[in-house]
């Protein structure tokens, strides 16, 4: 090998990299502790970036649609930010004032319904299978000692309260740290949103100052593609979940099914998980209604599949459509892999992430084919 200046530079880089990897492997515990410490420092800014990303979705809509023809351009940005914050706060307020009390009342009645449902289930199974001894043994085991369950809950609360009181300082410190992280993240998010263009120019200057032009252009292209993909996915998925949950709430209220609001909220939240989410909500909703009225539970399952067909064929293509740009088979792979690695959060993140990687790989393949002069495939 010709040891010119460029080759010597590459060789020195490989040697330094190998030494760093070797030291890192030997000091893996120290690296892990350092990573945790670093994450504690940057966590408020990561939280602020997530807040800015979420708030920027309605803010971008307000700036581009509602205030596009406004004369006082200087006021458009702060007014849009304030309205976006009020919009998010209003949603949280609706959840706290309307949804949570209803859900609490629903859970309070579930135990009574279960207690009343068990004798009916026992009678029905006995009439349907009169000669099954194993079934009779299983039925006899279906007895809930509610006094014992209540006492266990009381003991748990007492122990929990004792633990909390014994570690008041720790709890107070955790609360203060959480509030501080939220406050710093919120201020950082507001600064990002108010100074978007200025920050974008500064980042570009830094990139062009230290990286080759082609690397900077590729980085900016990937960043723009990532933002567009994640933004479209979050917007479409949330809107679809709200529409689906509202459809279930309205239809169940009209048909006088029990727990209409609770089931609607459950399906709306679980529908945020692509492919599997709505079916998880269906299972939970069917169980709740089954306890109250088995016949209505069958009707709910039929209603679920009808509304799923309406949502899948009419709503989803128009609301979400091809915004993610990922074939169905790869959506399934992304959901499965993301769920295995990171749970529900992984299911949500891996779809737009896989879409970005898919688009980059697709573009790279097309470029390779063009460079080789292959156009007839």
For 41-54, what is each residue's pLDDT tens digit? 888 888 888 888 88
Across 128-136, average pLDDT: 57
pLDDT on residue 38: 82
Give the tokens for residue 119: 């004798």
| CB contact at 8 A, 230 and 53 | yes
**3 state SS of 129:** coil
Between 153 and 251, name the one with better pLDDT.
Answer: 251
Give the tokens for residue 291: 């306890």
Give the pLDDT band (50/70/90) at residue 129.
low
Domain range list for the chain: 27-194
Between 168 and 267, name the one with better pLDDT.
Answer: 267
CA angle 202, 228, 67 (to 5 degrees): 75
DSSP single-letter state for residue 315: I
Across 88-107, average pLDDT: 74
For 276-313, what is each residue's pLDDT tens digit? 777 888 888 888 787 777 788 888 889 988 888 887 77
Between 28 and 196, name the one with better pLDDT.
Answer: 196
pLDDT on residue 150: 53
Task: Supply the mean pLDDT for the chain.
Answer: 76
> What does the alpha-carbon distance between residue 175 and residue 225 come to, in Å, rounded to a whole number?
37
Give the tokens for residue 211: 């990286």
Give the pLDDT band (50/70/90) at residue 131.
low
Check whether 324 has a pLDDT greater than 50.
yes
Give the pLDDT band (50/70/90) at residue 353.
confident
**3 state SS of 276:** coil
Helices and strands counted in the chain (H then E): 14, 0
Identify the helix (H) or strand (E) that includes residue 210. Answer: helix 196-210
- By residue count, the chain amounts to 377
Q: Is 104 exposed, middle or buried (0-12, 13-18, 19+ CB in 10 A)?
A: exposed
| CB contact at 8 A, 109 and 261 | no
For 220-242, what is each residue's pLDDT tens digit? 888 888 888 888 888 888 888 88
pLDDT on residue 211: 84
Check whether 1 has a pLDDT greater than 50.
no
pTM for this prediction: 0.66
Measured between alpha carbons, how far is residue 245 from residues 101, 239, 268, 305 in Å?
A: 18, 10, 4, 14
Between 111 and 282, name the one with better pLDDT.
Answer: 282
Q: Would you list the DSSP string of 333-372?
A: HHHHHHHHHHHHHHHHHHHHHHHHHHHHHHHHHHHHHHHT
Across 76-104, average pLDDT: 80
Across 326-334, average pLDDT: 75
| CB contact at 8 A, 219 and 200 | no
Give the pLDDT band (50/70/90) at residue 337.
confident
Give the pLDDT band (50/70/90) at residue 107.
low
| CB contact at 8 A, 237 and 320 | yes
pLDDT on residue 226: 83
């Amino acid at each position: 090998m010709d040891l010119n200046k460029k080759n010597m530079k590459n060789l020195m880089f490989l040697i330094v990299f190998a030494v760093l990897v070797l030291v890192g492997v030997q000091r893996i515990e120290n690296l892990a502790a350092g990573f945790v410490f670093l994450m504690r420092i940057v966590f408020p800014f990561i939280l602020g970036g997530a807040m800015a990303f979420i708030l920027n979705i309605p803010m971008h809509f307000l700036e581009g649609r509602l205030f596009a023809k406004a004369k006082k351009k200087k006021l458009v940005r702060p007014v849009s930010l304030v309205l976006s914050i009020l919009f998010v706060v209003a949603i949280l307020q609706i959840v706290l004032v309307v949804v949570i009390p209803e859900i609490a009342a629903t859970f309070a009645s579930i135990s009574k319904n279960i207690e009343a449902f068990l004798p009916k289930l026992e009678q029905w199974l006995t009439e349907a299978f009169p000669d099954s001894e194993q079934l009779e043994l299983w039925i006899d085991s279906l007895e809930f000692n509610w006094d014992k369950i209540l006492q266990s809950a009381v003991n748990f609360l007492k122990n929990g309260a004792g633990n909390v009181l014994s570690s008041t300082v720790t709890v107070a410190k955790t609360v203060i740290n959480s509030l501080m992280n939220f406050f710093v993240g919120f201020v950082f998010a507001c600064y990002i949103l108010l100074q978007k263009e200025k920050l974008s120019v500064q980042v570009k200057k830094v990139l062009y100052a230290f990286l080759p032009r082609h690397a900077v252009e590729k980085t900016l292209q990937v960043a723009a593609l990532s933002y567009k993909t994640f933004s479209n996915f979050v917007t479409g998925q949330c809107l679809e979940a709200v529409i689906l949950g509202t459809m279930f709430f309205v239809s169940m209220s009209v048909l006088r099914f029990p727990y209409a609001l609770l089931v609607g909220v459950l399906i709306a939240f679980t529908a945020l998980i692509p492919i599997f989410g709505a079916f998880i909500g269906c299972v939970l909703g069917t169980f709740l209604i089954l306890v109250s009225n088995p016949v209505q539970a069958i009707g709910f399952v039929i209603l679920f599949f009808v509304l799923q067909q309406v949502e899948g064929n009419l709503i989803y293509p128009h609301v979400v459509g091809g915004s993610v740009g990922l074939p169905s088979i790869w959506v399934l792979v992304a959901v499965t892999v993301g769920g295995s690695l990171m749970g529900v959060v992984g299911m949500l993140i891996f779809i737009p992430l896989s879409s970005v990687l898919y688009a980059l790989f697709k573009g790279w393949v097309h470029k390779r084919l063009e460079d080789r002069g292959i156009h007839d495939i």
